[in-house]
Amino acid sequence: MTITNEDLAKALRPVAPPRVIEDVYTDDQHERIMGVLKRQGPWPTITAHHFDTVEELVATTSGPMREGEGPKLTLDDIATGHFRGYLAKGSTCFYPELEDCFYNEKFLDLARDYWGAAYAKPTHMLFNFCGAHHSGLNPHLDAVQFRGIRLENSPVWLANIMGKSGLFQDHIVKMAQVIAWWYRGENGTFTYWPDGPFGQPKVLEHPLWDKGVVVQNEVMFHRGDPVGRPEDRDIPGLKHRSMIGYEADRDNWAITTDGEVIRRYQPEETRLLVHWSAELYSDMEELEKSLDHSDDLTSDMIFDRLIADMKNRGVKVDQPSDPMHDSDFIRSLIATYTIAPTTDWIPKPAA
Protein backbone atom coordinates (compact mmCIF):
# COMPACT_ATOMS: atom_id res chain seq x y z
CA MET A 1 0.00 0.00 0.00
CA THR A 2 1.35 3.43 -0.94
CA ILE A 3 2.00 5.70 2.02
CA THR A 4 0.31 9.09 1.66
CA ASN A 5 1.47 12.51 2.84
CA GLU A 6 -1.23 12.36 5.48
CA ASP A 7 0.31 9.13 6.79
CA LEU A 8 3.74 10.74 6.84
CA ALA A 9 2.44 13.84 8.58
CA LYS A 10 1.28 11.61 11.44
CA ALA A 11 4.66 9.85 11.60
CA LEU A 12 6.79 13.01 11.33
CA ARG A 13 6.24 14.25 14.83
CA PRO A 14 8.22 13.50 17.99
CA VAL A 15 7.31 10.88 20.57
CA ALA A 16 6.57 13.79 22.94
CA PRO A 17 6.60 17.60 22.62
CA PRO A 18 10.03 19.17 23.13
CA ARG A 19 10.78 19.87 26.77
CA VAL A 20 12.40 23.23 27.48
CA ILE A 21 15.17 23.17 30.10
CA GLU A 22 17.34 25.85 31.70
CA ASP A 23 20.92 25.75 33.00
CA VAL A 24 21.78 22.90 30.66
CA TYR A 25 25.54 23.03 31.27
CA THR A 26 27.58 24.52 34.07
CA ASP A 27 29.63 27.65 33.40
CA ASP A 28 32.78 25.54 33.71
CA GLN A 29 31.53 23.04 31.10
CA HIS A 30 30.64 25.87 28.71
CA GLU A 31 34.11 27.39 29.17
CA ARG A 32 35.77 24.05 28.40
CA ILE A 33 33.64 23.53 25.28
CA MET A 34 34.62 27.00 24.06
CA GLY A 35 38.25 26.16 24.80
CA VAL A 36 38.07 23.20 22.41
CA LEU A 37 36.47 25.38 19.73
CA LYS A 38 39.23 27.95 20.07
CA ARG A 39 42.17 25.51 20.14
CA GLN A 40 41.07 22.90 17.62
CA GLY A 41 39.78 25.10 14.76
CA PRO A 42 39.37 26.24 12.11
CA TRP A 43 36.05 24.51 11.51
CA PRO A 44 34.23 23.81 8.22
CA THR A 45 30.70 24.76 7.21
CA ILE A 46 27.86 22.47 8.20
CA THR A 47 27.22 21.53 4.58
CA ALA A 48 30.88 20.65 3.98
CA HIS A 49 30.59 17.95 6.66
CA HIS A 50 27.76 16.11 4.97
CA PHE A 51 27.17 16.96 1.30
CA ASP A 52 29.05 16.67 -1.98
CA THR A 53 26.24 17.82 -4.29
CA VAL A 54 23.25 20.15 -4.24
CA GLU A 55 20.98 17.14 -4.69
CA GLU A 56 22.24 15.55 -1.48
CA LEU A 57 21.63 18.78 0.43
CA VAL A 58 18.10 19.24 -0.93
CA ALA A 59 17.26 15.63 -0.01
CA THR A 60 17.66 16.50 3.69
CA THR A 61 15.41 19.57 3.63
CA SER A 62 11.90 20.08 2.31
CA GLY A 63 10.38 20.68 -1.08
CA PRO A 64 11.33 19.35 -4.52
CA MET A 65 13.96 20.85 -6.78
CA ARG A 66 12.51 22.93 -9.58
CA GLU A 67 13.05 21.69 -13.12
CA GLY A 68 16.58 22.52 -14.26
CA GLU A 69 17.61 23.84 -10.85
CA GLY A 70 20.13 21.15 -9.95
CA PRO A 71 22.61 21.57 -12.82
CA LYS A 72 22.65 25.36 -12.40
CA LEU A 73 23.21 25.55 -8.65
CA THR A 74 26.46 24.73 -6.87
CA LEU A 75 27.12 24.30 -3.18
CA ASP A 76 28.95 27.64 -3.27
CA ASP A 77 25.74 29.30 -4.48
CA ILE A 78 23.82 28.16 -1.41
CA ALA A 79 26.63 28.28 1.18
CA THR A 80 25.72 29.74 4.57
CA GLY A 81 27.99 31.08 7.28
CA HIS A 82 27.20 28.31 9.74
CA PHE A 83 30.01 26.04 10.93
CA ARG A 84 30.22 22.66 12.65
CA GLY A 85 32.54 20.36 14.50
CA TYR A 86 32.14 17.01 16.23
CA LEU A 87 33.03 16.57 19.89
CA ALA A 88 32.09 12.88 19.99
CA LYS A 89 31.04 10.13 17.58
CA GLY A 90 30.36 6.43 17.85
CA SER A 91 29.85 6.80 21.62
CA THR A 92 33.46 8.00 21.88
CA CYS A 93 34.37 11.43 23.24
CA PHE A 94 37.14 13.05 21.19
CA TYR A 95 38.35 15.41 23.93
CA PRO A 96 39.03 14.03 27.44
CA GLU A 97 38.30 17.41 29.01
CA LEU A 98 34.69 17.09 27.78
CA GLU A 99 33.98 13.54 28.95
CA ASP A 100 31.70 14.72 31.75
CA CYS A 101 29.70 16.68 29.14
CA PHE A 102 29.29 13.66 26.85
CA TYR A 103 28.92 10.79 29.35
CA ASN A 104 26.37 12.94 31.10
CA GLU A 105 24.19 11.29 33.75
CA LYS A 106 21.72 14.19 33.80
CA PHE A 107 21.23 13.99 30.01
CA LEU A 108 20.80 10.21 30.08
CA ASP A 109 18.10 10.57 32.73
CA LEU A 110 16.36 13.27 30.64
CA ALA A 111 16.46 11.08 27.52
CA ARG A 112 15.12 7.96 29.29
CA ASP A 113 12.32 9.95 30.87
CA TYR A 114 11.43 11.60 27.56
CA TRP A 115 10.91 8.19 25.93
CA GLY A 116 9.90 6.16 28.97
CA ALA A 117 12.73 3.82 28.00
CA ALA A 118 14.78 1.46 30.13
CA TYR A 119 18.20 1.95 28.52
CA ALA A 120 20.17 4.76 26.89
CA LYS A 121 23.65 5.35 25.55
CA PRO A 122 25.21 8.59 24.26
CA THR A 123 26.07 8.37 20.56
CA HIS A 124 27.46 11.68 19.34
CA MET A 125 27.91 15.31 20.24
CA LEU A 126 28.47 18.26 17.93
CA PHE A 127 28.37 22.04 17.87
CA ASN A 128 27.14 24.62 15.39
CA PHE A 129 28.79 28.03 15.52
CA CYS A 130 28.07 31.27 13.68
CA GLY A 131 27.62 35.01 13.74
CA ALA A 132 25.14 37.07 11.78
CA HIS A 133 24.40 35.31 8.49
CA HIS A 134 21.64 34.35 6.09
CA SER A 135 20.36 30.90 7.01
CA GLY A 136 17.96 28.95 4.88
CA LEU A 137 14.30 29.13 5.85
CA ASN A 138 13.57 25.54 4.78
CA PRO A 139 12.90 23.28 7.76
CA HIS A 140 14.73 19.95 7.87
CA LEU A 141 15.01 16.68 9.75
CA ASP A 142 18.19 15.55 11.45
CA ALA A 143 19.78 12.33 10.22
CA VAL A 144 17.32 9.54 10.95
CA GLN A 145 19.02 6.46 12.41
CA PHE A 146 17.93 2.94 11.45
CA ARG A 147 19.18 -0.47 12.48
CA GLY A 148 22.01 -1.03 10.00
CA ILE A 149 21.91 2.51 8.56
CA ARG A 150 23.63 4.99 10.81
CA LEU A 151 25.53 8.25 10.81
CA GLU A 152 28.80 6.32 10.85
CA ASN A 153 28.16 4.27 7.68
CA SER A 154 25.59 6.12 5.55
CA PRO A 155 25.12 9.62 4.12
CA VAL A 156 22.70 11.98 5.82
CA TRP A 157 20.68 12.53 2.63
CA LEU A 158 19.87 8.81 2.32
CA ALA A 159 18.79 8.47 5.94
CA ASN A 160 16.45 11.43 5.57
CA ILE A 161 14.93 10.17 2.32
CA MET A 162 14.27 6.90 4.15
CA GLY A 163 12.64 8.80 6.99
CA LYS A 164 10.46 10.87 4.68
CA SER A 165 9.44 7.80 2.64
CA GLY A 166 7.71 6.12 5.59
CA LEU A 167 8.89 2.74 4.29
CA PHE A 168 11.28 1.88 7.11
CA GLN A 169 9.39 2.82 10.27
CA ASP A 170 9.90 -0.61 11.88
CA HIS A 171 13.67 -0.13 11.76
CA ILE A 172 13.95 3.40 13.16
CA VAL A 173 16.23 3.66 16.18
CA LYS A 174 14.77 5.58 19.11
CA MET A 175 16.80 8.78 19.58
CA ALA A 176 16.69 11.82 21.84
CA GLN A 177 18.73 14.99 21.85
CA VAL A 178 19.63 17.58 24.43
CA ILE A 179 20.28 20.79 22.50
CA ALA A 180 21.51 23.99 24.14
CA TRP A 181 22.12 27.52 22.89
CA TRP A 182 24.31 30.42 23.99
CA TYR A 183 23.38 33.61 22.14
CA ARG A 184 22.60 37.18 23.25
CA GLY A 185 22.24 38.84 19.86
CA GLU A 186 19.20 39.59 17.75
CA ASN A 187 16.98 36.95 16.11
CA GLY A 188 18.58 33.47 15.90
CA THR A 189 15.63 31.65 17.49
CA PHE A 190 14.65 27.98 17.02
CA THR A 191 11.45 27.09 15.13
CA TYR A 192 9.95 23.60 15.26
CA TRP A 193 6.82 21.74 14.11
CA PRO A 194 5.88 19.43 17.03
CA ASP A 195 2.44 18.62 15.58
CA GLY A 196 3.75 17.47 12.21
CA PRO A 197 4.56 19.37 9.03
CA PHE A 198 0.96 20.51 8.54
CA GLY A 199 0.59 21.80 12.11
CA GLN A 200 1.45 25.21 13.49
CA PRO A 201 5.11 25.88 14.32
CA LYS A 202 6.38 26.92 17.71
CA VAL A 203 9.40 29.09 18.52
CA LEU A 204 11.96 28.83 21.31
CA GLU A 205 12.34 32.50 22.15
CA HIS A 206 15.03 34.56 23.85
CA PRO A 207 16.75 34.57 26.24
CA LEU A 208 18.86 31.80 24.72
CA TRP A 209 21.76 31.66 27.15
CA ASP A 210 22.27 28.09 28.37
CA LYS A 211 18.67 27.33 27.44
CA GLY A 212 17.87 24.02 25.77
CA VAL A 213 15.35 21.41 24.72
CA VAL A 214 14.99 17.66 25.05
CA VAL A 215 13.65 16.55 21.69
CA GLN A 216 13.48 13.95 18.90
CA ASN A 217 14.72 15.98 15.93
CA GLU A 218 14.91 13.05 13.48
CA VAL A 219 11.14 13.02 13.03
CA MET A 220 10.29 16.66 13.75
CA PHE A 221 10.81 19.39 11.19
CA HIS A 222 12.82 22.27 12.65
CA ARG A 223 15.30 24.99 11.74
CA GLY A 224 17.64 27.59 13.16
CA ASP A 225 16.22 30.98 12.26
CA PRO A 226 18.34 33.74 10.62
CA VAL A 227 20.93 35.14 13.03
CA GLY A 228 21.65 38.80 13.67
CA ARG A 229 20.26 41.98 12.19
CA PRO A 230 19.31 41.67 8.50
CA GLU A 231 21.77 44.39 7.49
CA ASP A 232 24.64 42.44 9.10
CA ARG A 233 24.03 39.07 7.44
CA ASP A 234 25.86 39.41 4.11
CA ILE A 235 29.24 37.62 3.94
CA PRO A 236 30.89 38.48 0.59
CA GLY A 237 33.29 35.76 -0.54
CA LEU A 238 31.64 32.97 1.42
CA LYS A 239 32.08 29.51 -0.13
CA HIS A 240 31.16 25.92 0.68
CA ARG A 241 34.82 25.41 1.64
CA SER A 242 35.05 28.46 3.95
CA MET A 243 36.19 27.96 7.54
CA ILE A 244 35.88 29.74 10.88
CA GLY A 245 38.59 29.98 13.50
CA TYR A 246 39.55 31.89 16.63
CA GLU A 247 42.18 34.65 16.42
CA ALA A 248 43.71 34.76 19.89
CA ASP A 249 45.68 37.95 19.28
CA ARG A 250 42.46 39.79 18.33
CA ASP A 251 40.10 37.82 20.60
CA ASN A 252 37.66 37.43 17.73
CA TRP A 253 36.42 34.85 15.23
CA ALA A 254 37.37 35.01 11.54
CA ILE A 255 35.74 33.38 8.52
CA THR A 256 38.30 32.58 5.83
CA THR A 257 38.08 31.38 2.25
CA ASP A 258 41.30 29.85 0.96
CA GLY A 259 43.16 31.50 3.83
CA GLU A 260 41.80 35.01 3.21
CA VAL A 261 39.75 36.62 5.98
CA ILE A 262 36.32 37.63 4.64
CA ARG A 263 34.45 38.38 7.90
CA ARG A 264 35.20 38.82 11.60
CA TYR A 265 32.92 38.57 14.64
CA GLN A 266 33.42 39.75 18.18
CA PRO A 267 32.73 37.03 20.79
CA GLU A 268 29.47 38.69 21.87
CA GLU A 269 28.21 38.48 18.26
CA THR A 270 28.50 34.70 18.03
CA ARG A 271 25.88 32.00 18.53
CA LEU A 272 26.81 28.55 19.86
CA LEU A 273 24.60 25.46 19.71
CA VAL A 274 25.69 22.19 21.34
CA HIS A 275 23.81 19.06 20.28
CA TRP A 276 24.03 15.86 22.35
CA SER A 277 22.38 12.65 21.09
CA ALA A 278 21.54 9.31 22.64
CA GLU A 279 19.99 6.03 21.50
CA LEU A 280 17.14 4.63 23.58
CA TYR A 281 15.88 1.08 24.04
CA SER A 282 12.49 0.27 25.52
CA ASP A 283 13.60 -3.08 26.96
CA MET A 284 16.35 -5.69 26.84
CA GLU A 285 14.85 -7.37 23.76
CA GLU A 286 15.11 -4.17 21.77
CA LEU A 287 18.64 -3.55 23.02
CA GLU A 288 19.79 -7.06 22.09
CA LYS A 289 18.29 -6.70 18.60
CA SER A 290 20.49 -3.63 18.11
CA LEU A 291 23.57 -5.31 19.54
CA ASP A 292 23.35 -8.58 17.58
CA HIS A 293 22.39 -6.90 14.25
CA SER A 294 19.80 -9.60 13.63
CA ASP A 295 17.36 -7.13 12.06
CA ASP A 296 19.67 -4.71 10.24
CA LEU A 297 18.87 -3.09 6.93
CA THR A 298 21.41 -3.19 4.08
CA SER A 299 21.82 -0.70 1.26
CA ASP A 300 20.56 -3.28 -1.27
CA MET A 301 17.40 -3.80 0.78
CA ILE A 302 16.85 -0.05 1.01
CA PHE A 303 17.22 0.75 -2.67
CA ASP A 304 15.19 -2.28 -3.73
CA ARG A 305 12.33 -1.13 -1.50
CA LEU A 306 12.56 2.50 -2.59
CA ILE A 307 12.64 1.63 -6.30
CA ALA A 308 9.73 -0.81 -5.97
CA ASP A 309 7.68 1.83 -4.18
CA MET A 310 8.53 4.49 -6.77
CA LYS A 311 7.40 2.18 -9.57
CA ASN A 312 4.23 1.40 -7.65
CA ARG A 313 3.57 5.16 -7.56
CA GLY A 314 4.00 5.34 -11.34
CA VAL A 315 7.43 6.98 -11.22
CA LYS A 316 9.66 6.06 -14.16
CA VAL A 317 12.98 5.09 -12.66
CA ASP A 318 15.87 3.00 -13.96
CA GLN A 319 17.96 0.75 -11.73
CA PRO A 320 21.02 2.94 -10.97
CA SER A 321 24.45 1.35 -11.11
CA ASP A 322 25.68 3.60 -8.28
CA PRO A 323 22.63 4.82 -6.36
CA MET A 324 24.69 6.60 -3.71
CA HIS A 325 26.16 8.99 -6.29
CA ASP A 326 23.70 9.07 -9.20
CA SER A 327 22.42 12.66 -9.30
CA ASP A 328 19.48 11.85 -11.56
CA PHE A 329 18.36 9.06 -9.25
CA ILE A 330 18.73 11.28 -6.18
CA ARG A 331 16.62 13.96 -7.89
CA SER A 332 13.95 11.32 -8.54
CA LEU A 333 13.99 10.35 -4.88
CA ILE A 334 13.65 14.01 -3.84
CA ALA A 335 10.69 14.52 -6.18
CA THR A 336 8.97 11.36 -4.97
CA TYR A 337 9.51 11.69 -1.25
CA THR A 338 8.96 15.36 -0.54
CA ILE A 339 6.91 16.63 2.33
CA ALA A 340 7.25 20.09 3.79
CA PRO A 341 5.65 22.25 6.47
CA THR A 342 2.89 24.39 5.00
CA THR A 343 2.77 26.91 7.84
CA ASP A 344 5.36 29.39 9.02
CA TRP A 345 5.72 32.62 10.98
CA ILE A 346 8.41 34.06 8.66
CA PRO A 347 7.19 34.75 5.09
CA LYS A 348 9.57 33.49 2.42
CA PRO A 349 10.82 36.15 0.00
CA ALA A 350 9.13 36.20 -3.41
CA ALA A 351 11.02 34.28 -6.09
User: What pTM did the predictor assign?
Assistant: 0.89
pLDDT per residue of the chain (351 residues) written in tens, 0 to 9: 566 777 777 778 999 999 999 999 999 999 999 999 999 999 999 988 877 777 777 766 655 544 554 457 888 888 899 999 999 999 999 999 999 999 999 999 999 999 999 999 999 999 999 999 998 778 888 888 999 998 788 888 898 889 888 899 899 999 999 999 999 999 999 999 999 999 999 999 999 999 999 999 999 999 999 999 999 999 999 999 999 999 999 999 999 999 999 999 999 999 999 999 999 999 999 999 999 999 999 999 999 999 999 999 999 998 899 999 898 898 899 888 888 887 777 766 554
Alpha carbon distance, N-terminus to C-terminus of the chain? 37
Helices (H) and strands (E) in the chain, counts: 11, 14
DSSP code at position 249: T
Kind and range of the H or E run holding 331: helix 327-336
Per-residue b/e over 215-236, b at no fewer than 16 CB within 10 Å?
A: bbbbbbbbbbebbbeeebbebe
CATH 2.60.120 fits 5-336, yes or no: yes
Q: What is the pLDDT of residue 184?
A: 95
Closest CA to 252 of 271, 266, 234: 266
